[in-house]
Structure 1
């Protein structure tokens, strides 16, 4: 479900009413916990947190004119999604998250490679997502990205 928006605020205005508060809360918890250096902007049609070109001039290897993506949040057709590129690239971080998740949520984790899906907004573990957002600095993400993804 692609939403045409030029800012996070416009994105939130355009999503279904029942998704607005959860997306606002995710946005807030990520912004409050994300290490300094990441920048919030629209990224791939979602609210994104990226490593700006000022910190990583190479940009994203697939599309170098775009900054290096790190976290995205989106209202999809059947769920709210949190995309975390670091969790995809770091097995230790993935294992930590999978171990912590059941301590916060009683439902089964619905996850792809970097996508954490929440079909019920009441089951979003905001505190855990905030902790996840704070686990990696831009410099650590760049190093991991160059080692494991950019290759």
Structure 2
């Protein structure tokens, strides 16, 4: 896949490395897609026919990597819905990364690509299977 259309040259290597880490660590069952704005990982309709309630017939979104104007963002719905996972991530980030965590509800922002904790992101994405994500999604 050519990611050059999704991110500027200055951050392309970091973007590709993020995708590679996610691909290597994400549990089986998620499907990788792109829509011209980023790379997305979804639970396919074949696994979860109900799909995304906001847009019926659309696979259930789980994770996205998007290059914003001033940062690379990883949108991880698991940290939004699973408080224990969020607490684990915040604790590990504080222990392992020399920069302050810049995060919204599901958005983890990396303003400086030199400080992306690739190994930690790999661990994070490995912690939620499609089945766990569906259960968390349905419990909301």
The one of 70, 74, 77 aligned to 1:78: 70
Q: Tell me which residue corresponds to 2:20.
A: 28
Q: Work out the CA distance in 2 between the residues paired with 1:101 and 1:119.
A: 15
Gaps of 5+ in 2: none
The answer to whether structure 1 residue 67 and structure 2 residue 56 are counterparts is: no
Q: Point out 4+ residue stretches in structure 1 off by more than 3 angstroms.
A: none
The answer to whether structure 1 residue 112 and structure 2 residue 104 are counterparts is: yes
Q: What is the TM-score with the length of structure 2 in the denominator?
A: 0.96
Aligned-residue offset at 1:44? 7.9
Alpha-carbon displacement from aligned partner over 1:20-69 (angstroms, at most 9, x marks no partner): 11110010100100000001001583200100000000111111221001
Aligned-residue offset at 1:19? 1.2
CA contact (8 A) 1:43 1:69 kept: no
Q: Tell me which residue corresponds to 1:58.
A: 50
Equivalences, count: 139
The one of 1, 4, 9 aligned to 1:13: 4
Compare 69-78 and 42-51 and name the one that shifted more: 42-51
CA shift in 2, pair 1:86/1:46, >3 Å: same
CA shift in 2, pair 1:43/1:64, >3 Å: farther
The one of 71, 81, 96 aligned to 1:89: 81
CA contact (8 A) 1:43 1:72 kept: no
The answer to whether structure 1 residue 145 and structure 2 residue 137 are counterparts is: yes
CA contact (8 A) 1:39 1:52 kept: yes
Q: Tell me which residue corresponds to 1:41.
A: 33
Q: Tell me which residue corresponds to 2:120.
A: 128
CA contact (8 A) 1:29 1:130 kept: yes
Gaps of 5+ in 1: 1-8
Q: Work out the CA distance in 2 between the residues paired with 1:72 and 1:86.
A: 12
